[in-house]
A = this chain, B = another copy of it.
Amino acid sequence: MKRIAILTGGGDAPGLNAVIRAAVKTAIQVYDCEVLGIRDGYDGFVNPGGIFPLDHTAVRGILPRGGTILGTANRGNPFARKVIRDGVEVIEDISGAIMESIRQLNLDALIVVGGDGTLHIAHEMAELGVPVIGVPKTIDNDLGGTDYTFGFDTALVTATEALDKLHTTAEAHHRVMVLELMGRDAGFIALHAGMAGGADVILIPEIPFHARSIIEKINSRIERGTTFSIIAAAEGARPVDGQQQIARPGDSVYVPRLGGIGQVVADLVSQGCGVETRVTVLGHLQRGGSPSAFDRVLASRFGAGAVHAAADRKFDCMVALRGEAVCTVPLAEALAKPKRVDLNGDLVRSARDLGISLGD
């Protein structure tokens, strides 16, 4: 193994730099292998200055830092790029140029750190002959094939701290506080943070909610003399009867504008329970910041593991955590079945045991 490259794609996640650092250190120290950094995702292959060497100095001090020293591109299709030609914006297919650049670099492996979208592309490239190794990255923990992805624990810490803060204010003011959290398709952040932060209601995409259930829960607390409540809602949570309930007649603009289920739920509660209700959208704060200790260790293991996988020529695979060990799984397998909250698992059961309403 003489030369490998590494790129980071998709949304930001705490731990990206730890992956890069571990990969660079492992490649150089264990395999005496050159490492190239590709800037801003796949774009780096065709952009001027998009490819540059990574050595010990380049990765010094980046372990505790959020973000990625490689930059990232966060758009739908990395092969389609908007360019201005003759004064007109056109979509250019750069897949050929990227593949050509990769071929010329004569890479022994390309380590791709990214989420569902980025890894799908990686898998396609692997099928075209690129020696790809994936590293799973998602705040939402919704990638198949691995127990955990780095970034999730840090997001969970941030979300739990937010719930802790809202708790005392809710209690002092006799209010219902709604916290909208990330999780478009999977509710791991909301479920874990809701349990850790003592939420009374947790809404996740996997369980369509009944407005009535939420209202009953809040009202039963009020009847018992508890004048405040906390609701943790994943952004992808939806009512059982879908869009209708959210977009109210004559106000169709409403939901997209506010961008969130948080406000919808707050309105439901405010009207249904007659209590003051406030919503906070945590948003990008969940993606940033210094990675947690757990994420730093997991990301470091993933970075080192990816380089070993490259040396073992386990291409078209990604590294994964299974139980206590890092291993590799075929990308096709990991991507085939995205991860969702197990509705029959003990985690969901425990949430119910604690008296938390899941809206069903």
Is there contact, CB below 8 Å, between A168 and B65? yes
Q: Of the candidates B16, B165, B290, B350, which one forms a contact with A66 in the assembled complex, judged by CB atoms under 8 Å apart?
A: B165
A223 CB–B CB distance under 8 Å: no
How often does this chain occur in the complex, in copies?
A: 4
Q: A172-B16, A353-B30 are in contact. Are A281 and B281 (CB under 8 A)?
A: yes
| Minimum C-beta distance from A202 to chain B (A) | 12
- From DSSP, what is the main secondary structure of chain A's interface residues? helix
Instruction: Write out the residue numbers on chain B whose beta carbons fall within 8 Å of the beta carbon of A122.
Output: none
A residues sitting closer than 8 Å to B (CB atoms) are: 8, 11-12, 16, 21-22, 25-26, 29-30, 40, 63-68, 71-72, 74, 147, 153, 156-162, 164-169, 171-174, 177, 192-193, 195-198, 253-254, 257-258, 278, 280-281, 283-285, 287-290, 292-294, 296-297, 300-301, 304-305, 307-308, 322-326, 342, 345-347, 349-350, 353-355
Please name 29 pairs of A and B residues whose Cβ atoms are closer than 8 Å in the assembled complex, sorted by A. A8-B172, A12-B169, A21-B354, A30-B353, A63-B196, A66-B165, A66-B167, A66-B169, A71-B171, A71-B174, A72-B173, A74-B173, A153-B293, A156-B293, A158-B165, A164-B289, A165-B287, A192-B297, A254-B257, A280-B283, A297-B347, A300-B350, A300-B354, A301-B347, A304-B354, A324-B342, A326-B346, A326-B347, A326-B350
